[in-house]
Amino acid sequence: MMAKLTLIATLLVGVFLVGAYAGNDYLWGEVGANDYKLAKDSVHKAFFVGMVLNKKYVFKQKNNLDALTITAIKITDKKKSDGATAVLTHGGPGSKGATIMFTSQRGHGISDVVEIWGR
């Protein structure tokens, strides 16, 4: 009985630690087998003491007539803790472009990688 309780307690602590140190990763849509990577960009903004920082990322294709349709957007947070949040404010899967707004934690910077797929 005591071994069972110890195992449960250890698993719960592990779940909380993973959640506390996981970045804010996002995936909108689904990457299909026939999709092309349309963009891979780094989004950075240095921290400023006591401030919440915002950064807008805009993906726009050059030739709108031949533009591919976005199928997925993946954001990987490079910070293990205190990472920025991301909100898809315009476009995204099913459209030709996308606008994403990043917001940092107070006193922390932004360090993310944006990958966009389409067909």
CB 103 within 8 A of CB 53: yes
pLDDT in 10s for each residue of the chain, 119 residues: 554 544 444 444 443 444 444 568 999 999 999 999 999 999 999 998 999 999 999 999 988 778 999 999 999 999 888 899 999 999 999 999 999 999 999 999 999 999 999 99
Is 90 part of a structural domain of the chain? yes
Please report whether residue 80 resides in a domain.
Answer: yes
Residue 14: the pLDDT is 43
Q: Is 15 part of a structural domain of the chain?
A: no
* Residue 45 belongs to domain spanning: 24-118
Question: Is residue 85 one of the residues assigned to a domain?
Answer: yes
Judge whether 59 lies within some domain.
Answer: yes
Q: With respect to residue 53, please indicate whether it lies within any of the assigned structural domains.
A: yes
Task: Specify the pLDDT at position 5.
Answer: 44
CA 7, CA 63: separation in Å to the nearest integer?
57
In a domain, 10, yes or no: no
**Integer angstrom CA distances of residue 26 from 13, 65, 66, 75:** 24, 29, 27, 5
Provide the domain count of the chain.
1
pLDDT for 26: 96
**Local structure of residue 109 (DSSP, 8 states):** -
